[in-house]
């Protein structure tokens, strides 16, 4: 991919490097505020930072935990990763995202050695049937504001089950429309991290506009990297104590099940 400019004058990427800083474009904007980012681009950004630190050392990313400790603003961001737990079999990489010197997001990535000389293990119970493939469905947009943002400029969606106009569980294929930064093909984990944060949006149980169901975190666990551009979320939202909920998404690629994503939710009805 090479840098290009779209019809609204924005670079066709989620972020643009500026020295040590990463400058968000409108492709990374979230649905809750015109001034804050969607969690998906932030998850892809910290994944990219950790991947650049780690390199190709025979370990594979297995889990991402992202803490969105403040709304991540649509301003230049400083992203810093460090290896906090070295090891030949298990590693931990922590990343901090700062805006104007204030920490706005933390992440921890777990990496596990790939045992290339070991035969693949087979589970006792076969996996559930895979969703219908993305090429069997038309493109569909979420029913949110038309302001340029990640959900309508940064990704393409294809619904297998559910309805973007009605609350309830949904099964949706999602792919990045643009790179995380200009000139770089998104890696499999970057694609997954970007898509996985949509669970509470596509599997929403409250109509948009009737309240807020914001996730202050995201955890993604993968047994293997996905194949191809498309990531499928089989998403459902559940509620517990007043003000608290959770979204859970089974994750698939075109070849089968790859993992799961979890989001805790701040639920504010009537706001």
Query: What would the mean pLDDT of 53-82 be, rounded to a whole number?
Result: 96
User: How many helical (H) and strand (E) elements, i.e. helices and strands, does the chain have?
Assistant: 3, 13
Contact by Cβ (8 Å): 58, 22:
no
> Quick one: pLDDT at residue 129?
85
Write the DSSP assignment of 16-81 as a string of letters.
EEETTEEEE-GGGB-SS-TTBB-HHHHHHHHHHHHHHHH-SSSEEEEEEEEE--S--BSS-EEEEE
> Quick one: pLDDT at residue 138?
87
Phi-psi region of 54 (alpha: psi -120 to 50; beta: other; left: phi over 0): alpha
Taking 90 as the threshold, does the pLDDT of residue 11 lie above it?
no
If one looks up domain 15-115+130-269 in CATH, what number appears?
A: 2.40.160.210
The domain limits of the chain are 15-115+130-269
With bands split at pLDDT 50, 70 and 90, how would you rate the model's confidence at 125? confident
Contacts of 207 (CB under 8 A, 6+ apart): 167
Tens-digit pLDDT profile for residues 87-96: 999 999 999 9
With bands split at pLDDT 50, 70 and 90, how would you rate the model's confidence at 2? very low
Contact by Cβ (8 Å): 65, 215:
no
Any idea what DSSP says for residue 165? T
> Quick one: pLDDT at residue 140?
85
With bands split at pLDDT 50, 70 and 90, how would you rate the model's confidence at 207? confident
Query: What would the mean pLDDT of 147-166 be, rounded to a whole number?
Result: 92
Give the rounded percent of residues in the chain with a pLDDT score beyond 90.
Answer: 78
Tens-digit pLDDT profile for residues 131-146: 999 999 989 877 666 7
Phi, psi of 122 (to 5 degrees): -120, 125
Taking 50 as the threshold, does the pLDDT of residue 20 lie above it?
yes
Burial class for 173, CB neighbours closer than 10 Å (0-12, 13-18, 19+): buried
């Amino acid at each position: 991919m090479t840098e290009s400019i779209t019809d609204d004058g924005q670079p066709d990427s989620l972020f643009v490097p500026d020295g040590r800083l990463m400058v968000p474009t409108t492709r990374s904007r979230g649905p809750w505020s015109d001034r804050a980012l969607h969690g998906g681009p932030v998850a892809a950004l910290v994944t990219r930072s950790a991947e650049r630190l780690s390199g190709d050392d025979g370990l594979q990313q297995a889990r991402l935990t992202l803490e969105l400790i403040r709304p991540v603003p649509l301003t230049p961001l400083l992203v810093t990763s460090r290896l906090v737990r070295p090891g030949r079999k298990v590693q931990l990489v922590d990343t901090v995202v700062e805006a104007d010197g204030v920490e706005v997001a933390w992440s921890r990535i777990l990496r596990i050695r790939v045992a290339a000389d070991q035969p693949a293990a087979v589970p006792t119970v076969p996996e559930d049937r895979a969703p219908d493939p993305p090429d069997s469905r038309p493109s569909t947009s979420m029913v949110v504001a038309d302001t340029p943002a990640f959900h309508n400029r940064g990704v393409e969606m294809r619904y297998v089950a559910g309805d973007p106009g009605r609350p309830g569980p949904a099964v949706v294929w999602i792919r990045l429309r643009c790179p995380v930064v200009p000139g770089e093909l998104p890696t499999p984990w970057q694609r997954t991290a970007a898509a996985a944060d949509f669970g509470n949006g596509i599997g929403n149980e409250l109509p948009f506009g009737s309240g807020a169901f914001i996730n202050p975190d995201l955890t993604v666990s993968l047994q293997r990297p996905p194949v191809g551009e498309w990531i499928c979320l089989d998403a459902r939202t559940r509620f517990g104590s007043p003000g608290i909920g959770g979204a859970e998404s089974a994750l698939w690629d075109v070849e089968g099940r790859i993992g799961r994503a979890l989001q805790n939710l701040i639920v504010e009805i009537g706001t």
